[in-house]
Structure 1
């Protein structure tokens, strides 16, 4: 088992939110609080430090993070660049990566990823039907390798994972926990499912 002091949490909030009209998705209200606040609760107290990868609204995100980490290179190059930036910023051997728009993640997500890692260098959540590559536990020593891959033009997370010893972690008992909120309708439906709030607001 990996002790808490060897784990850093990273919330990916550096995207452009294009499918939600360009809003800063992590700060969108969900059940009365920003999405990122719900996600942070899954990491706080389970990791040594919570980082948020963001490229705008840095002060706002700073309220929910120990540190806010901007992309190592500009231009909104995607989640793999956010992961790289987190791997570089972390001061622990392991990084737990989660997206900012999954407020229903399991409370024991960190423990599940750690328990499922085995001898691998990367553990990726799998809901029984598909992988969730931005819900993962990654050895931070892979930062330089990822930097080289990015420099070579790689932007596909699954292709980079495939270069290393990685494993699936079974989370098929709670597949709905990994639903991404890409539209306002997605958000309203999940709010109603979790909190009984009206879906037609």
Structure 2
């Protein structure tokens, strides 16, 4: 089974106030934590961004990394445009997706996704403390046409895509296996109090 990792790094981070990809935890950029978590699980890595941010990434940070700009025809259409861009660049059986705002992500969470892949499933999504996490998930190449159909519509949400797919939800039996850093308050709580949540 050929697996690719896709880091979604093209967002404007309006609630955060600056691009979250380059926020730091212990001197390392957030996007690098996402790449590090994915690397032991996948054969190749894709980071999808936009032209404004492209030159700020370390394009040689790790082996087998390809940094791509979102398809220009799909600007401002959310995370599915990033997944579509990766699928369109190279074909793999499955794409493991991560955002850039999970600097506490550990590889074992992604391994659980991979272990739950089967031929009757299109998408594997973790559920953490009752909340579904569709941007920390595994997506089959079989749904590529569904993604394009959603992106070409007026509703290009992930929820719309999932209505078309066979989705397997898996419960992660930990109170908080990772943290999304959504805004500056989260950054203050989780990054500056890092020792309290390890």
Unaligned runs of 5+ in 2: none
Residue deviations 1:89-116 (CA, integer Å, cap 9, x gap): 2331110001100011232122100112
Displacement after TM superposition at 1:70 (Å): 1.5
1:117 aligns with 2:117: yes
d(CA) in 2 for partners of 1:47 and 1:194? 28
Closer/same/farther in 2, CA of residues 86 and 28 from structure 1, 3 Å limit: same
d(CA) in 2 for partners of 1:109 and 1:89? 26
d(CA) in 2 for partners of 1:193 and 1:176? 16
1:13 aligns with 2:14: no
1:93 aligns with 2:93: yes
Alignment partner, residue 165 of structure 1? 166
Q: TM-score, normalised by structure 1?
A: 0.86
d(CA) in 1 for partners of 2:14 and 2:82? 17
- TM alignment of 1:75-90, pairs within 5 A: 75-90=75-90
Partner residue of 1:57 out of 53, 75, 88: 53
Q: Which moves more between the two structures, 128-137 or 101-110? A: 101-110
RMSD between superposed Cα atoms in Å: 2.0
Q: TM-score, normalised by structure 2?
A: 0.87
d(CA) in 2 for partners of 1:71 and 1:54? 6
d(CA) in 2 for partners of 1:156 and 1:15? 15
Displacement after TM superposition at 1:15 (Å): 0.7
Give the length in aligned residue pairs.
191
Closer/same/farther in 2, CA of residues 185 and 89 from structure 1, 3 Å limit: same
Unaligned runs of 5+ in 1: none
Instruction: Indicate the SS of the match to 2:146.
Output: helix
Alignment partner, residue 70 of structure 2? 71
Instruction: Indicate the SS of the match to 1:42.
Output: helix
8 Å CA contact 2:15–2:182 kept in 1: the answer is yes
Instruction: Indicate the SS of the match to 2:148.
Output: helix
Q: Following TM superposition, where does structure 1 have runs of at least 4 consecutive aligned residues deviating by more than 4 angstroms?
A: none
d(CA) in 2 for partners of 1:146 and 1:130? 23
8 Å CA contact 1:154–1:160 kept in 2: the answer is no
Instruction: Indicate the SS of the match to 1:134.
Output: coil
Alignment partner, residue 25 of structure 1? 20
Q: Which moves more between the two structures, 63-72 or 39-48? A: 63-72
